[in-house]
Structure 1
Amino acid sequence: MEFDLPKTVAAFLVVIALGVGGMIASDMMATDTILMMVAPSMVLFGAIMLAIGVQYGEHRATN
């Protein structure tokens, strides 16, 4: 399966939604704390890791 931009964005959003939904369902913290602090940090960390992964994949594809 080749990942193009729409598939990558969809997979990224599904993973973030599952993580946030699981935390909300487990009642670990207040919902406003999860939505205001945890979700943005998950998105930022995921975006950084995605960028590093894309760069590494490009490096491996060219060598």
Structure 2
Amino acid sequence: MEFDFLRSVGVLVAITAVATIALTNVMAPGTVFMMVLPSMVAFAVVAFALGMKHGEYRSVR
């Protein structure tokens, strides 16, 4: 299966949504939405960008 940009972002959003819902069962929702969710989104964006650039680098070599 080949991943294009939209499919990859969709999987990333789904993983973040499931993790957020799971964390609201354990922690206070205010804490999750104000502190945890923004840091998860920031990490996901950075990791996605680095992974995409690394994949581009590997495909050229």
| TM tier, smaller | over 0.9
- Taking only aligned residues, the RMSD between alpha carbons, in angstroms, comes to 0.8
Q: Structure 1 residue 59: deviation in Å? A: 0.5
TM-score (norm 2): 0.93
TM-score (norm 1): 0.90
Q: Structure 1 residue 30: deviation in Å? A: 1.1
Equivalent pairs, count: 61
- Structure having greater relative contact order (Cα 8 Å, sep ≥ 6): 2
Percent same amino acid among aligned pairs?
Answer: 36
Unaligned runs of 5+ in 2: none
Unaligned runs of 5+ in 1: none
Q: Which consecutive aligned stretches of 4+ in structure 1 deviate over 3 angstroms post-superposition?
A: none
Q: SS state of the match for residue 2, structure 2?
A: coil
Task: Tell me which amino acid in the other structure corresponds to 2:11.
Answer: A
